[in-house]
Amino acid sequence: MDLKPLFEPRTMAVFGVSSTNYRHPANEIFTKNLLRYPVKVYGVNPRGGTVNGQSIHRSISEIPEPIDLAVIAVRADFVPDVLSECIRAKARSATVISGGFAEAGKRDLQERIVAIAQEASFPFVGPNCLGIYVPSHVDTFFLPGERMVKPAIGNVSFVSQSGGILVDHLIKFAGEGVGLAKAISIGNKALLGELDLLDYLAQDPATRVIVFYIEGFGPNEGRAFVQNAGKCGKPIIVLKSGKSAGGSRAVSSHTASLAGDYASFSAALSQYGIVEAANELELISFCESLSAYAKPIQGRVGIVTVSGGHGAMAIDACTAHGIVVPALPEDVREALRKNLSPSVREIASLANPIDLTGSGIDDDFVATAETLFAMEEIDCVLALLLPYIPGITADLGAKLSSVATRSGKPLIAYVPHVEKYAMLIEGFELNGAPVSPSIEGAVLMVEALRRNRPC
């Protein structure tokens, strides 16, 4: 099945558009694509009429050109007929937004639409979903366009069983500067599931990191998913819910008790180098660092800061995650000391973490970063920045990023996230270095690089 028309449609038909009920989800989808996206959109409703000055077609067969993507938002009972109509009219794909299938106890109805699609090798997403959002291309989410918070265009694609979780994470992406390639809400995943989208996104040049929110897999689907994910070559992040479910079943062996549904899920993921995020904070941190750096590290970190407390907190967080903070050899320390500014030279602490003190200036950071990046023993540098220190300028982000780029090793920064410090943060982010609003978050970014093991 060719999934491309789902994501790159040139033409789109929205079923269920109503000339009398403007709040119908189909109207929202029709209008936003008409006004905001380059896709050519047609409304379909057997009753006809007009919406936004556009006349509604009574059937897909009346539309003068072939349809790449059909968006179906009609009552569940009508979906099988609409789907068959689309197939007859040689439409190339669909998203079924309508609810009222397996999730409402109507498994038969769901099986019927799957059978219809399978017979024609016709790909569809859903039912009971929001569908697809590709920035600047297409948006089948029935949410008012002006109320959606849209992240910048980027390289992270997000596949979610839950539409709500997906949209909320797009808001978080926007807040933390994570760029989005494609967002797909798969709902009941009756035909297309995680496995199909994994295979598609693995080949998608716009996608560098793939995120999944998963509630559960069908029989043996998890096995195929991790095996394909392990071969995919792109970092994959999974957020799982329903971890505590299934505990009520009687269990007859110790192994069955210890290797419960979630324990097996988690073990299989890490066996194949898939990065499991425990919660939303981890998910966002992992997305930020893996979208910046796809190359795995062992996790040996050099830390530079101007505050002993920040260094100590970072060491604790690193230790808790099993990330190593190697000591600097005597000769390296002496060489670095000579490169520091005179007021810092005598008082800086050059163990790892390196504390440049409140007298530190941009040049001291640059000299320290050059030393750390040059060390064989260190494969990642963490810069904990306090923007209110007098000697630090708004330029420091750009300066440190360029040292990192030259070295080819990842740089991760901590800067408090308030509007006032935006220039410093931009200096990092525009140069491809992720910035966390917390020390723990910055260490989680290192952790993501350590756990990611693409082949």
Partner 1 sequence: MLESHPDILRIIEEARGDGWVLEAAAKQLFSLAGFAVPRFALARTTEEAHRFAGEIGYPVVAKIVSPRILHKSDVGGVAVGIGNDGRLAEVFERFRGLDGFQGVLVEEMLSGIELILGAKIDVQFGPMILLGMGGTGVEIYRDVALRMAPLTEKDALAMIDGLKARRLLEGYRGAAPVDRGKLTETIRIFSSLVMELEGRIESIDINPLLCSAGRCVVADARIILKSISGTVSR
CB of 259 to partner 1, least distance (A): 5
CB of 243 to partner 1, least distance (A): 13
Nearer to partner 1, 268 or 375 (CB): 268
Residues in contact with partner 1, total (CB under 8 A)? 24
CB distance 143 to 167 below 8 Å: yes
User: How many other CB atoms are found less than 10 A from the CB of residue 208?
Assistant: 19
What's the first-to-final CA gap in the chain, in angstroms? Answer: 26
Which residue is associated with the tokens 């297309």? 192
Q: Which of 252, 279, 390, 419 binds partner 1 (CB under 8 A)?
A: 252
Nearer to partner 1, 212 or 265 (CB): 265
CB distance 287 to 178 below 8 Å: yes
Nearer to partner 1, 136 or 227 (CB): 227
CB of 214 to partner 1, least distance (A): 10
The reply on whether position 259 binds partner 1 by CB under 8 A is yes
φ, ψ of residue 275 in degrees (nearest 5): -90, 115
The reply on whether position 377 binds partner 1 by CB under 8 A is no
Nearer to partner 1, 251 or 423 (CB): 251
The reply on whether position 319 binds partner 1 by CB under 8 A is no
Residue type, 103: E
How far apart CA 99 and CA 188 sit, in angstroms, is: 9
CB of 284 to partner 1, least distance (A): 26
CB of 255 to partner 1, least distance (A): 3
Q: Strand runs (DSSP E) across 186-251, as ranges?
A: 209-214, 236-240
Residue type, 315: I
| Token duo for residue 92 | 């190339």
How far apart CA 67 and CA 5 sit, in angstroms, is: 9
322-351: contacts with partner 1 (CB under 8 A): none
CB of 454 to partner 1, least distance (A): 17
Nearer to partner 1, 64 or 219 (CB): 219
261-290: contacts with partner 1 (CB under 8 A): 261, 263-265, 267-268, 271
How far apart CA 137 and CA 134 sit, in angstroms, is: 5
φ, ψ of residue 236 in degrees (nearest 5): -125, 130
CB of 327 to partner 1, least distance (A): 24
149-178: contacts with partner 1 (CB under 8 A): none
CB of 251 to partner 1, least distance (A): 8
Nearer to partner 1, 324 or 389 (CB): 324
Element (H, E) at 256: helix 254-258
- CA distance to 161, 224, 268, 321, per residue, from 264 (Å): 20, 14, 6, 21
201-220: contacts with partner 1 (CB under 8 A): 216-220
Residue 338, SS3 per DSSP:
helix
User: Given the rule CB under 8 A, which residues bind partner 1?
Assistant: 216-223, 226, 252-259, 261, 263-265, 267-268, 271
